[in-house]
Amino acid sequence: MSRAKKNTTTAAAPQPWHSMAPSTVLERFKSNPHGLTDQEAAERYQKNGPNRLPTYKRRGPAIRLFLQFHNLLIYVLIGAALLSLVLGHGIDALVIAAVVLLNALIGFIQEGQAEKALDAIRTMIDPHCSVLRDNCRHSIAADHVVPGDIVFLDAGDRVPADLRLLSSHALHMDEAALTGESLPVEKHTGSLAQSTALADRSNMAYTGSYVASGQGMGVVVATAQNTQLGQIGTMLQKVEVPKTPLIIQMDQFARTLALLTLSVAAIAFLYTTLIGTTPVADAFMAVIGLAVSAIPEGLPAVLSITLALGVQRMAKRHAIIRRLPAVETLGAVSVICTDKTGTLTRNEMTVSALALSDAAYDVTGAGYEPEGAILQDGQTIDPAGHPGLPALLEVAALCNDARIRKSGSTHVAEGDPMEAALITLAMKAGQDLAQIRHQFPRRTALPFDARHRFMATLHPDAQGQCFAAIKGAPEKLLAICTKERNAQGEDRPIDLAGWHKKIGQLAAQGQRVLAFAVKSFPADKQEISVQDFETDAVFLGCMGFIDPPRKEVASAIKDCHTASIHVVMITGDHAATATEIARQIGLSNTPETITGAELDRMDDPALAAAITKTDVFARTTPEHKLRLVEAFQKQKRVLAMTGDGVNDAPALKRADVGVAMGKKGTEAAKQAADMVLADDNFSSIVAAVREGRTVYDNLMKVIGWTLPTSIGEAMTILIALFFGLALPVTPVQILWINMITAVALGTTLAFEPTEPGTMSRPPRKSGRPILDGALIWQVLFLSVLFLAGAFGVFYKAQANGLPIEAARTIVVNTLVVMEIFYLFSVRYIHGSSITLRGVIGTKAVLIGVALVAVGQLAFTYLPAMQAVFDTRPISLVDGAIILLIGIALIVIVEMEKKIRRTFFARKTGKI
Ligand code: ATP
């Protein structure tokens, strides 16, 4: 009761909502069955604020910045800076402090950008719901719902606020989020005792629950924090960025590497002090430099920005990522199972053929414009003069929830496109819809459900009896009809064979076929269920709909074929229709089709054999989808599966990448999916796969550049220490290299565009470890090259009589130049980098290189920098030699890449 008081901003309620009659609740909220006016709703929104549950408080910027320092390596560095200070190495301490600060700052900025990008995308799929305002049905963002609003509930909807139900037709809710009960509970509208427990309040629908089946309508009694969910305080939307498998692997690897480096550094320190080649303080500074260069401290931030950029690029291509790991998985997808209607086709339906028991008609016109006519043998006819037609058109108008709205000079469909096409047909036939609906008011409805494939509405008839208007899949209706109505309006035994032939002919042209029937009931019939439609219906006729394929789909399917991705159509439609559409979009010239009924007869081994060569699964139910996902996964295929209905949720959850439709999809499907398609378009899935492959490549490029360069740098110091040689670079210098290259060069790889030929490669094998043989080899190979470069120029410079400071300056510049050239090589992991495109680079790469060049010039020639880093100016000739070394490096690396690809790639399937 206290809840009731809190809820009402517009009324005080002495008793709980579930114990009141619907009319009382409406009264309390100054609402009515036609809904609030727009103005009233706007005022209530002003007063109540958005209908949003509070999210977990995000960490503030200060804490986020502070957390950048909360890292084992940073502690070591801070310790090192303090020790350096104590040991009198003020400059070293300062440089280390600068490295720490810069690293934290970059990490802070990059993380912030990544979070912002992901946040922006999250809001693109905010839930919507259907409300009645000013007696018109509108789809609005769920957070704009206000107390007193009338909300419609359909299968798959998420309840946006707490509702007292005003009507319910076979309404079943999934309340697991609230009560933990996993089975759907039935709802009705009758008042309940005040003491009824929450889980038993069958006349209420609570925020966060889903409509499992049926339809209903309710008045909002509580929003936002006043809802049951808000009060329990559970399930607050936790804003966290989940990690992808690759990032998790990388985190673990980085930690291991950090520990390994610290151990090696400790051993190196002990060894050096024992053999006494280097003074303790210098040795200590050297191992600090070693540790700093080997540990890829900037890597996590670069990886997360790479992912965020990928997610952003996908969103631009209408693919909205809900769960971050899907970004990576998409790149490994080898099977795409897709719906037909709306995904491969435009879902813009036009009725083009009518079939009665002994007459056939064509319909002209396209889209929802009511311009066109009904023709028989090429001649326009007046439907009123053809006895079978008005009854068929009436049933089509009655068993229908769609509307055609005039928007400017065009007509637009609201609701199910197929039902809208029926309204357009009625308009073309000159029917008065309002009059028909007034003459036969709807008592109740059995909504369409993909499992039983028909819809029915109950109406009183002119004789004081009652009848159901039925429309649905032809096979379904033929199975429940015992009679057919002939052109004279008389009922006679149904000619099943004749109908199957007619339906087959329409479907073979790629038309979607819908059948219509009626069934009589006693006058007092008030409710209908699936069991009422098992027999005794009268078949009226069929209609053929044209739903043209989307024009960009054929080329997207071609791309899938070159990328070795198997595309499978899974549809609820007729086998012949689906097969013809599959042929039209180029799925195959002679598509192999299996129906749901055939699938049911197959055991698992038979199905396993069938799925590899099947293009179309027709007349399937959502349960079939789940079975297909499992069958593909048993074959270790990485699978993307589309879905839109509430019953598709299990298959979407189970698929490696569950894809929900943004426009046509239910909230339940979106909730279960990893990715939502803003435009419901198949080609957006293919675009996302392409981006997925790019993101994975870029992540591998970032790793493939960072690890060899960091370890190569570290090896330079390590070798010198172990062999008691003069250090070719000082610890502060190595810190400088690490700082400037990691910041300016490493990050640029996050911006790499898709490599040419990305969609001509087969999908990568999933679950491959990062640190595989290829990467270990790359690290070793590059370390050797870096060592050779560093020591080579060091000794050469000294041999030429240059002082050690100048020699070291040359080494630093050589290492940096080698890293730049290696960056150009890493940019193309699947092809050669020595191409015009490769040399020109991207804007990001060019900015990065320019920054490093300016940095190196300052490092070498600026007196202040010379004082800090103990550097000397170098000659033009030395500069040219350094450049040549860089060029030599890229040539060697490219040759190695080519050899590796030629000899090993085919064998191992790796790059
Ligand atoms: P896809 O699964 O590719 O989206 P689909 O839209 O044909 O294809 P369903 O929505 O499961 O799949 O529809 C299956 C069949 O049910 C349709 O072919 C049609 O015959 C029938 N049907 C679809 N929508 C309705 C409806 N609103 N009323 C009555 N019958 C319908």
- Nearest ligand 1 atom to alpha carbon 472: 30
Section 648-654 average pLDDT: 90
Section 297-308 average pLDDT: 81
473 lines ligand 1 (CB under 6 A): yes
> Could you tell me if 818 and 896 lie in one domain?
yes
680 lines ligand 1 (CB under 6 A): no
CA of 453 to the centre of ligand 1 (A): 6
573 lines ligand 1 (CB under 6 A): yes
CA of 568 to the centre of ligand 1 (A): 18
Query: Cα–Cα distances in Å, from 694 out to 130, 309, 310, 351, 845?
Result: 38, 11, 8, 43, 17
> Could you tell me if 129 and 66 lie in one domain?
no
Q: What is the DSSP string of 434-450?
A: HHHHHHS---EEE---T
Section 758-767 average pLDDT: 85
CA of 105 to the centre of ligand 1 (A): 55
Give pLDDT, residue 560. Answer: 96
- Residue minimizing CA distance to atom 17 of ligand 1: 573
Give pLDDT, residue 238. Answer: 45
Best residue among 349, 351, 418, 550 to mutate for probing ligand 1, ranked by most atoms within 8 Å of CB: 418
CA of 554 to the centre of ligand 1 (A): 23
472 lines ligand 1 (CB under 6 A): yes
Lowest model confidence (mean pLDDT) among 35-44, 404-413, 678-687, 852-861: 404-413
Task: State how far the Cα of 741 lies from the Cα of 115, in Å rounded to an integer.
Answer: 24
The answer to whether residues 410 and 444 touch, using CB atoms and an 8 Å cutoff, is no
Percent residues over pLDDT 70 in the chain? 95
Within a domain: 2 = no
> Could you tell me if 694 and 718 lie in one domain?
yes
Structural tokens at position 767: 């679950």
Task: State how far the Cα of 499 lies from the Cα of 355, in Å rounded to an integer.
Answer: 9
At 337, give phi and psi (nearest 5°). Answer: -100, 120
- Residue minimizing CA distance to atom 20 of ligand 1: 473
Return the higher-pLDDT residue of 68 and 547: 547
339 lines ligand 1 (CB under 6 A): yes
> Could you tell me if 757 and 898 lie in one domain?
yes
Give pLDDT, residue 823. Answer: 93
Give pLDDT, residue 69. Answer: 84
- Residue minimizing CA distance to atom 2 of ligand 1: 571
Residue 350 has pLDDT above 80, yes or no: yes
**Given 339, 532, 559, 878, the catalytic residue:** 339
448 lines ligand 1 (CB under 6 A): yes
CA of 4 to the centre of ligand 1 (A): 42
- Structural domains counted in the chain: 5
The answer to whether residues 682 and 553 touch, using CB atoms and an 8 Å cutoff, is yes
Give pLDDT, residue 100. Answer: 83
Confidence at 148, pLDDT banded by 50, 70, 90: very high
Which of 114, 136, 157 represents a domain boundary (last residue)?
114
Within a domain: 202 = yes
Give pLDDT, residue 721. Answer: 84
CATH number, domain of 625, equals 3.40.50.1000
Tell which residue, 463, 23, 24, has the closest CA to residue 15. Answer: 24
CA of 442 to the centre of ligand 1 (A): 22
Half-sphere exposure of 519 (CA within 13 A, CB side): 23
**248-285: b or e for each residue (b if 16 or more CB lie within 10 Å)?**
ebbeebbeebbeebbebbeebbeebeeeebbeeebbbb
Within a domain: 1 = no
The answer to whether residues 368 and 425 touch, using CB atoms and an 8 Å cutoff, is no
692 lines ligand 1 (CB under 6 A): no
418 lines ligand 1 (CB under 6 A): yes
Give pLDDT, residue 602. Answer: 95
Within a domain: 878 = yes
Residue 302 has pLDDT above 90, yes or no: no
Residue 155 has pLDDT above 60, yes or no: yes
Tell which residue, 7, 51, 6, 11, has the closest CA to residue 30. Answer: 11
447 lines ligand 1 (CB under 6 A): no
CATH number, domain of 153, equals 2.70.150.10
The answer to whether residues 578 and 618 touch, using CB atoms and an 8 Å cutoff, is yes
* Angle at which helices 280-294 and 731-744 cross, to 10°: 10
450 lines ligand 1 (CB under 6 A): yes
632 lines ligand 1 (CB under 6 A): no
648 lines ligand 1 (CB under 6 A): no
- Residue minimizing CA distance to atom 26 of ligand 1: 448
CA angle 107, 111, 115 (to 5 degrees): 175
340 lines ligand 1 (CB under 6 A): yes
Give pLDDT, residue 122. Answer: 67
Within a domain: 573 = yes
> Could you tell me if 127 and 211 lie in one domain?
yes
Best residue among 514, 540, 646 to mutate for probing ligand 1, ranked by most atoms within 8 Å of CB: 514
> Could you tell me if 731 and 747 lie in one domain?
yes
CA of 561 to the centre of ligand 1 (A): 28
Confidence at 7, pLDDT banded by 50, 70, 90: very low
Residues 476-500 have pLDDT tens digits of 999 999 999 987 778 999 999 999 9
572 lines ligand 1 (CB under 6 A): yes
> Could you tell me if 801 and 763 lie in one domain?
yes
620 lines ligand 1 (CB under 6 A): no
**Contacts of residue 542, Cβ cutoff 8 Å, sequence gap at least 6:** 354, 355, 474, 499, 502, 503, 506, 513, 514, 515, 516
CATH number, domain of 883, equals 1.20.1110.10
- Residue minimizing CA distance to atom 1 of ligand 1: 571
571 lines ligand 1 (CB under 6 A): yes
Within a domain: 3 = no
Best residue among 347, 348, 567, 571 to mutate for probing ligand 1, ranked by most atoms within 8 Å of CB: 571
Return the higher-pLDDT residue of 230 and 614: 614
Which of 217, 238, 259 represents a domain boundary (last residue)?
238
**Most confident of the ranges 73-82, 85-94, 292-301, 471-480:** 471-480
453 lines ligand 1 (CB under 6 A): yes
- Residue minimizing CA distance to atom 22 of ligand 1: 472
Section 760-767 average pLDDT: 84
Which of 526, 546, 566 represents a domain boundary (last residue)?
546
- Residue minimizing CA distance to atom 31 of ligand 1: 472
Confidence at 741, pLDDT banded by 50, 70, 90: confident
CA of 772 to the centre of ligand 1 (A): 48
SS3 451: coil
**463-497: b or e for each residue (b if 16 or more CB lie within 10 Å)?**
eeebbbbbbbbbbbbbebbeebbeeeeeeeebeee
pTM of the model: 0.85
Give pLDDT, residue 243. Answer: 67
Return the higher-pLDDT residue of 373 and 740: 373
- Residue minimizing CA distance to atom 4 of ligand 1: 341
Within a domain: 703 = yes
- Residue minimizing CA distance to atom 19 of ligand 1: 473
> Could you tell me if 139 and 209 lie in one domain?
yes
CA of 750 to the centre of ligand 1 (A): 43
Residue-averaged pLDDT of the chain: 87
CA of 803 to the centre of ligand 1 (A): 83
- Nearest ligand 1 atom to alpha carbon 342: 4
**Most confident of the ranges 102-116, 127-141, 149-163:** 149-163
Sign, Cα dihedral of 566, 567, 573, 575: negative
> Could you tell me if 744 and 806 lie in one domain?
yes
CA of 658 to the centre of ligand 1 (A): 21
Task: State how far the Cα of 34 lies from the Cα of 807, in Å rounded to an integer.
Answer: 86
- Nearest ligand 1 atom to alpha carbon 664: 4
Contacts 24+ apart (CB under 8 A), 585-588: 585/344, 585/549, 585/553, 585/554, 585/557, 586/554, 586/557, 586/558, 587/557, 587/615, 587/616, 588/615
Confidence at 905, pLDDT banded by 50, 70, 90: low
CA of 217 to the centre of ligand 1 (A): 24
Structural tokens at position 684: 């957006």
Where does residue 88 rank: exposed (0-12), middle (13-18), buried (19+ CB within 10 A)? exposed
CA of 450 to the centre of ligand 1 (A): 6
Best residue among 348, 349, 453 to mutate for probing ligand 1, ranked by most atoms within 8 Å of CB: 453
**117-127: b or e for each residue (b if 16 or more CB lie within 10 Å)?**
bbeebeeebee
- Whether 339 is catalytic is yes
> Could you tell me if 777 and 855 lie in one domain?
yes
> Could you tell me if 341 and 354 lie in one domain?
no
Q: By 3-state DSSP, what share of the chain in percent is helix, strand and coil, each rounded to 5?
A: 50, 15, 30
Task: State how far the Cα of 600 lies from the Cα of 607, in Å rounded to an integer.
Answer: 10
The answer to whether residues 223 and 51 touch, using CB atoms and an 8 Å cutoff, is yes
| DSSP summary character for residue 149 | -
CATH number, domain of 388, equals 3.40.1110.10
Task: State how far the Cα of 569 lies from the Cα of 697, in Å rounded to an integer.
Answer: 29
Task: State how far the Cα of 807 lies from the Cα of 793, in Å rounded to an integer.
Answer: 7
Within a domain: 784 = yes
Best residue among 337, 338, 340, 341 to mutate for probing ligand 1, ranked by most atoms within 8 Å of CB: 341
Task: State how far the Cα of 601 lies from the Cα of 476, in Å rounded to an integer.
Answer: 19
402 lines ligand 1 (CB under 6 A): no
> Could you tell me if 460 and 475 lie in one domain?
yes
Residue 2 has pLDDT above 50, yes or no: no
Residue position matching structure tokens 């409509």: 211
CA of 415 to the centre of ligand 1 (A): 14
Confidence at 5, pLDDT banded by 50, 70, 90: very low
Residue 907 has pLDDT above 70, yes or no: no
Return the higher-pLDDT residue of 652 and 324: 652
206 lines ligand 1 (CB under 6 A): no
Owning domain of residue 624: 319-345+551-685
